[in-house]
Structure 1
């Protein structure tokens, strides 16, 4: 009786194993590529002054940067308080200059957008709602969910420092 493992059978088997390995690698690459293909947002807090003295006003802005390959739509921008403050949110409807905040906004791939909150109104909101502002994080809501800024901060202290520096 002759063995079924002849040269052509072994060659075909090796070729089939190689094809399976290439297919699994291609499938893995497709999954990684799909995961990285969407919008990737980075959220941060910045501060500055808008206008010219004596009418200048300090602001704290929430800045969203899209480092992904696709555009996304921003539905809400604000500050989320800590777990101790029940993760309450501060969202304003007008910016530091009194202009209405236009949402939703489209954020293109590689693009940046920001919303400037008036420091004095932010402090008044913290005071009126009896919020400490400790552990607050900036956030952006999109159709894909909420993206929080990396760094927790004492929002009340940051706002107080800005207001103490100048015109408020």
Structure 2
């Protein structure tokens, strides 16, 4: 919520099927489960865990409850910024790498990707971090498996994508 302009911004991480170079992505498999990170350091830096199956790709659904534009800057693992201006850019699907190429927002195999999101409004700036966690990594209290299930093998086969859970 931005007090100066009376607007509010909703950022919903949503999932789709990761198909790499193949076309025909499943468009929207719904919102992802978010969990507070174990090492949150206070109101100035909010870290949230987003557990992902390897077949998941993430996009950010941006909804602004005002006509006043708000800038959203996103960095993947410290790379270059991708900037959206909401409401004219209602979603973000990819981030730039340091070499200038773009990549889907996914959790690296066996690890964690850091997605820093900065929201810039008139006279105000907010920062938070989404940590994209590989759900197939060994489970512990922070990285337990997500409640959303991976798709059935037929769902992958219909999009010419190998089933990643064997």
* TM-score interval, normalised by the smaller of the two chains: 0.3 to 0.5
Larger radius of gyration: 1
TM-score (norm 1): 0.39
Give the structure with the larger helix fraction: 1
Bigger fraction of residues in strand? 2
